[in-house]
Amino acid sequence: MAIYTRKKYFSQKRRWQSWLDVEAALARVLGREGIIPQWAACKIAETSKLEQLDKKALRKEVKRTMAPVHALACELAKASGEAGGWVHWGATTQNIIDAGRLLVLRDVQKDLKHQLALVLNCFAYLADKHAETSMVGRTNRQQALPITFGFKIASWIDEFLRIWDQLEECEERLFELRFGGAIGAFHSLGEAGPDISIRLAEELGLRPARYEGRVQVDVLMEYVSRLGIIGVAAYRVASDLYQMMQSEVGELAEDFGAAVVGSSTMPHKSNPKLVVRLIANANRLRSLGAGAYSLTPPSFEGDSVTNREMQKQLQDTVECAFCVILGLQKVIDSLSVNSNSMTKRLVSSGKETSMENVMMHLAKLIGRGAAHDVLHEAIVKSRTNGKPVDEILLSQPEFRNNIEKETLNHLLDPEKNIGQSVRIARQLAATARERTSQFK
């Protein structure tokens, strides 16, 4: 499993190279459009590689000027020789920073979707494998109706597919190039400016923007908040798993082998480990996503305060998003399903969890409302006097006159009362594999 770190996307070297990639693309476009000499454009593009610059001198210049893009442009100009006078033509600092960040985020997005695809395929495998593994379904943390474990997993697939859609849907807005110069009105490039920006967007594989200003942060806020939704979905999955791992439930476990120790003082314990870490990270990701809306709104036509806050928020959220997705995959890979425990718990509660099935059968004979009242009264009596609910039901005239004991036993069998759980589990598994097939 690949490991993603802040360094991969947000190191100083990666940031500098993304700026150089933009400078190279700008030079190529300006050369083709006749704004700068073609020979100069070729030389600048060839030289726009970090290994061709004096990095020691670059760091010194950044420290001296406190203007990183200016310092980088100066070093690129020196390395480009006679072509140096055409470096950074018509651009401003924030143009380079914003465009470079989009190039990095494009790689982030590609890798995120790849990891989400792996998670969805893990879900699909489990949903198919346990499409017919019966268990108790729960609502409000109380036993409700019989389902299958595959049906439960199908709900996870459904949610993560929507997250996949939301991440893809925001790409059209996120990957827009705004390259209008110092304030967005193409003061340096004049009438050629808008066309240059369109050509540069094409060169970089981005979309041209309607407005070339530099204070629009709504799309970055949207992206951060959507990454936060991954935390919401992952927390729901992890919370279910964590509770199903309780000793009193015992339907799931993390399988690490005999060497892993659960407790330093209680030898019998086998504590969940990965799912606990996942819940903590998912909670942090949720808070980071919500934090996008607390950023300082930018002022006038440019504001470095917001830019700095947003960059830090992006870095933290992207790193946490990868941590959560990879953590989720580790939990699923380590999962041990105790189908016997699931069946045992379902059978022990089968009569009560099958009441809806009995009610709907009786409703055809005496009406739904009346059937509900009859069964509710029988359940209350059973819980009060300890008699089996089926005995109480058969003693009532509504049952004696309409339903035979054999029919009632059949209706109370939880294994025959799982609704469309199997079909839904297999359907969602197939959908997950189909939607993510390009990332295999």
- Which residue, chain included where needed, has tokens 């420290």? 63
- Nearest CA to 6 out of 312, 328, 330, 439 is that of 312
Torsion of CA 306, 312, 316, 318, to 10 degrees: 70
- Specify the amino acid at residue 329: Q
Interatomic CA distance for residues 401 and 398, integer angstroms: 6
Q: Model confidence over 279-335: pLDDT tens digits?
A: 999 999 999 999 998 888 888 888 888 888 889 999 999 999 999 999 999 999 999
DSSP 147: E
- Nearest CA to 412 out of 347, 354, 339, 341 is that of 354
The runs of H, that is alpha helices, within 178-335 are 193-204, 218-244, 274-291, 304-334
Q: Model confidence over 378-425: pLDDT tens digits?
A: 889 988 998 888 888 888 887 777 788 888 888 888 888 899 999 999
- pLDDT (mean) for 115-135: 96
Task: Please list the residues that pair with 142 across neighbouring strands.
Answer: 139
- pLDDT (mean) for 136-165: 93
Q: Are 377 and 392 in contact (CB under 8 A)?
A: no
Q: Are 76 and 53 in contact (CB under 8 A)?
A: yes
The runs of H, that is alpha helices, within 135-217 are 149-169, 171-174, 193-204
The two three-digit tokens of residue 185, written as one number:
């009105």
Q: What local confidence, expressed as pLDDT, does residue 1 receive?
A: 43
Interatomic CA distance for residues 279 and 18, integer angstroms: 34
Q: Model confidence over 353-391: pLDDT tens digits?
A: 788 888 888 888 889 998 899 889 888 998 899 888 888
Q: Model confidence over 164-199: pLDDT tens digits?
A: 999 999 999 999 999 988 888 988 888 999 999 999
Q: What local confidence, expressed as pLDDT, does residue 361 receive?
A: 87
Interatomic CA distance for residues 249 and 39, integer angstroms: 73
Interatomic CA distance for residues 410 and 235, integer angstroms: 38
Q: Are 131 and 150 in contact (CB under 8 A)?
A: yes
The two three-digit tokens of residue 226, written as one number:
């959507």
User: Which residues in 281-395 belong to E strands, given as ranges?
Assistant: 335-337
Q: What local confidence, expressed as pLDDT, does residue 374 receive?
A: 87
Q: Are 297 and 305 in contact (CB under 8 A)?
A: no
Interatomic CA distance for residues 159 and 412, integer angstroms: 32
Q: Are 409 and 357 in contact (CB under 8 A)?
A: no
Interatomic CA distance for residues 260 and 178, integer angstroms: 53
Q: Are 244 and 251 in contact (CB under 8 A)?
A: yes
- Helix/strand/coil for 98: helix
| Res. 265: pLDDT tops 70 | no
| Res. 269: pLDDT tops 70 | no
Distance of CA 426 to the CA centre of its chain: 22
| Res. 69: pLDDT tops 60 | yes
- Helix/strand/coil for 22: helix
Q: What is the mean pLDDT of the chain?
A: 91
- Which residue, chain included where needed, has tokens 């923007």? 209
Interatomic CA distance for residues 163 and 38, integer angstroms: 45
Report CA-CA distances (Å) from 218 to 177, 215, 274, 310, 389: 14, 9, 35, 10, 59
Q: Are 93 and 70 in contact (CB under 8 A)?
A: yes
Q: Are 30 and 196 in contact (CB under 8 A)?
A: yes
pLDDT grade, residue 47 (50/70/90)? Answer: very high
**What is the pTM (predicted TM-score) of this model?**
0.89
Q: What local confidence, expressed as pLDDT, does residue 411 receive?
A: 84
| Res. 4: pLDDT tops 70 | no
Write b or e for each residue in 45-54: b if 16 or more Cβ atoms lie within 10 A of its Cβ, otherwise e.
bebbebeebe
Length of the chain: 440
Q: Are 293 and 231 in contact (CB under 8 A)?
A: no
